[in-house]
Amino acid sequence: MTARILVICLALLVASPAAADELKPFPQHTMNAGLNLGLGVNGSDVSFNVGANFGYFVIDGLEPGLSVDVSFGTDPATPISLMPYLRWVFWRARPFSPYLKVQGGRWFVIDNVDISLVGGGVGFVFFITDWMAIQAEGLAMYLIPDEG
């Protein structure tokens, strides 16, 4: 199943929704700021996530950034995450722009052991206007609990 999803994602990355001359990455010195809303399901447990992110394109298409999130409904713990990331956006074109992302950081868990994590995945930016978009991504993360 995972291999099938990966093949579909790679096929979408290769197939362009626009003409070749319109496929340009986000230009250097542009910024990305956003608000995050999320939903997580792990068996019968459901959690909600809210946060913000900021990134700056250091070269065309390459964006280092930082995401800060708080999760609710993860009884008894409430993790606060601080997650630097590196994202490579292949092109900027309507209706969507695909990207690869690597991310690592820390979950600061209230009344429990903190967790470090690292991982990556793929995502898409779906443009609503020239400057506003909805982002969807899938990440696989490796969790490293602290000793203690």
pLDDT tens digits along 4-48: 444 344 444 444 444 444 667 788 999 999 998 888 787 888 888
Looking at residue 20, its pLDDT comes to 42
With bands split at pLDDT 50, 70 and 90, how would you rate the model's confidence at 148? Answer: low
22: helix, strand or coil: helix
Euclidean distance between the first and the last CA atom of the chain, given in angstroms as a whole number:
36
pTM (two decimals): 0.76
Alpha-helix runs per DSSP H in 15-145: none
Instruction: Quote helix, strand, coil % in the chain, to nearest 5.
Output: 10, 60, 30
Note the pLDDT of residue 57. Answer: 96
Chain segment 39-88, per-residue pLDDT in tens: 878 788 888 889 999 999 999 999 999 999 998 886 666 789 999 999 99
Which pairs with CB-CB distance under 8 Å and at least 24 residues apart come from 98-106? 98/9, 98/12, 98/13, 98/122, 98/123, 98/124, 99/123, 99/124, 99/125, 99/137, 101/137, 101/139, 103/67, 103/139, 103/141, 105/67, 105/81, 106/81, 106/82
Q: Specify which residues 141 forms β-bridges with.
A: 119
Strand 115-127 and strand 96-109: the pairing is antiparallel
pLDDT at 19: 46
Rounded Cα gap, residues 136 and 30, in angstroms = 20
Cβ contact 126:133 at 8 Å: yes
C-alpha–C-alpha distance, residues 9 and 6, integer Å: 5
